[in-house]
């Protein structure tokens, strides 16, 4: 059977597994927006029986608990829905923290419980793909290696998607354990999915023998009310504009730099900053009070989707000066879907998808003066804000699940084909 199935038509293959003969049919088609994809049907024939069992390819999908904070509970349903429409059977399991405030004992028990549950599921049912949503950092590496070791006995293709990767130690002296565990993840996996070109290069430089694939996160607009176009925000900008930061409240997201930039902005334009997200809220509050910014900053905490949508609608400019190790931040896509102009850093997926001056104004990481200058440029030029908002409303359509998810299906299909050759 060919490794590539880029043409329309049907490819079949046969394989004996124990007392069964497995026939596979790969139906390749190109219906417009789907470009090229393969629908896989597996038929199991028992030699001593005339019974024909037809089975769709199946995925054990391990990801974060959907009740917790973060982008994954937003991303997973979008991806799973389209994959099911493309013919994949999906069983959802948990991988990662079980609550927002786990202690070490709870983390240890929780990850062991997740590994045992995954092992039991794989033992009870034949899956074709094990899909694990994780991240590359010190906390995740050991758990991921243990999971991959535990499931090596099963004939399942192991796919790891890195929702953010701390790659600096990979190219720095030392960090022997970190590098060793990372290589173990690569070698125990059949594919590593990465969310930016920068990460693709870094991982390939570190371990050239890895099997890496570039993907994007699916996104669907939060704005179910079809809010007014960017021009409607001009009065807000001309009166008292509202700046918005949304994301995890940690230093690497650039929120401290934004607070340092705010006094520079306030010297020229009166505005108000809203900060939404969970994390180091007490430290943020301390910095606000120390800088005498209490009258100019609202610390909102973590917001439910409807509340966050209202905040996006009221904002004039979205700011995320992040240097966190992530692909393409979901909050950037959310801001784009509300027609907001953006100030952000040109790192990883942002550099892949956005153009400086068209979709955002780029600033270098850890640069409060640069943040202030970019925000002032937007607030003093409402026309630029409107043009950027319109460009973002158009660009965000590129992340629609029906556009993004077939790439995942294509990768999974290739993995199954390569295993059947």
d(CA 4, CA 351): 30
Does some domain include residue 1?
no
Judge if 120 and 16 occupy the same domain: yes
pLDDT of residue 54: 63
* Cβ–Cβ < 8 Å for 294, 284: no
State whether residue 203 is helix, strand or coil. helix
* Position 148 confidence tier, pLDDT thresholds 50, 70, 90: very high
Residue 4 placed within a domain: no
Q: Is the pLDDT of residue 173 over 80?
A: yes
Instruction: Tell whether 249 and 180 lie within a shared domain.
Output: no
Q: How many domains does the chain have?
A: 2
Per-residue confidence at 235, pLDDT binned at 50, 70, 90?
low
- 194 and 242 inside one domain: no
* pLDDT at residue 19 greater than cutoff 80: no
Six token digits for residue 115: 């590994």
| R_g of the chain, CA atoms, integer Å | 24
The reply to whether 225 falls in a domain is no
Is beta strand 242-246 parallel, antiparallel or unpaired with respect to 272-276? parallel
Confidence of residue 26 (pLDDT cuts 50, 70, 90): very low
Contacts of 75 (CB under 8 A, 6+ apart): 217, 218, 219, 330
Give the range of the structural domain holding residue 55, as residue numbers without chain letter.
9-219+401-419
| pLDDT the model gives residue 1 | 37
Model confidence at 30: pLDDT above 50? no
Residue 86 has pLDDT above 80, yes or no: yes
101 and 78 co-located in one domain: yes
Q: Is the pLDDT of residue 226 over 90?
A: no
Q: Indicate the pLDDT class of residue 249, thresholds 50, 70 and 90.
A: very high
Tell me: pLDDT of 368 over 70.
yes
Identify whether residues 209 and 79 lie together within a single domain: yes
């Amino acid at each position: 059977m060919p490794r590539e199935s880029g043409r329309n038509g049907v490819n079949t293959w046969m394989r004996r597994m124990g007392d069964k003969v497995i026939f596979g049919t790969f139906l390749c088609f190109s219906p417009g927006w789907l470009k090229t994809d393969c629908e896989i049907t597996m038929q199991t024939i028992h030699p001593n029986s005339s019974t024909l069992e037809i089975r769709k390819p199946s995925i054990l999908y391990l990801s974060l608990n959907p009740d917790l904070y973060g982008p994954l509970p937003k991303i997973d349903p979008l991806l799973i829905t389209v994959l099911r429409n493309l013919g994949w059977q999906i069983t959802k399991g948990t991988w990662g923290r079980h609550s927002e405030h786990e202690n070490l004992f709870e983390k240890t028990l929780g990850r062991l419980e997740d590994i045992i549950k995954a092992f039991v599921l794989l033992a009870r049912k034949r899956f074709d793909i094990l899909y694990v949503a994780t991240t590359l950092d010190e906390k995740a590496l050991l758990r991921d290696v243990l999971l991959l070791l535990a499931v090596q006995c099963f004939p399942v293709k192991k796919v790891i998607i890195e929702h953010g990767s701390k790659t600096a130690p990979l190219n720095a002296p030392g960090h022997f354990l970190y590098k060793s565990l990372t290589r173990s993840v690569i070698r125990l996996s059949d594919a590593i999915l990465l969310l930016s070109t920068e990460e693709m290069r870094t991982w390939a430089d570190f371990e050239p023998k890895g099997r890496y694939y570039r993907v994007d996160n699916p996104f669907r607009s939060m704005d179910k009310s079809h809010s007014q176009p960017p021009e409607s925000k001009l009065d807000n900008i001309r009166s008292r504009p509202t700046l918005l930061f949304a994301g995890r409240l940690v230093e690497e997201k650039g929120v401290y730099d934004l607070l340092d930039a705010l006094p520079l902005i306030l010297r020229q334009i009166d505005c108000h900053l809203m900060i939404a997200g969970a994390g180091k809220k007490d430290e943020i509050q301390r910095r606000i009070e120390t800088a005498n910014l209490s009258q100019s900053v609202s610390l909102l905490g973590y917001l439910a989707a409807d509340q966050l949508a209202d905040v996006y609608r009221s904002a004039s400019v979205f700011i995320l000066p992040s240097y966190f190790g992530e692909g393409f931040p979901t909050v950037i896509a959310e801001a784009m879907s509300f027609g907001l102009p953006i100030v952000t850093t040109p790192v990883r997926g942002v550099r892949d998808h956005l153009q400086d001056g068209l979709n955002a104004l780029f600033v270098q990481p850890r640069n409060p003066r640069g943040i202030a200058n970019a925000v002032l440029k937007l607030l003093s030029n409402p026309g630029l804000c409107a043009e950027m908002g319109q460009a973002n409303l158009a660009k965000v359509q590129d992340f629609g699940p029906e556009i993004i998810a077939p790439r995942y299906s294509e990768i999974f299909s290739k993995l199954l084909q390569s295993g059947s050759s």
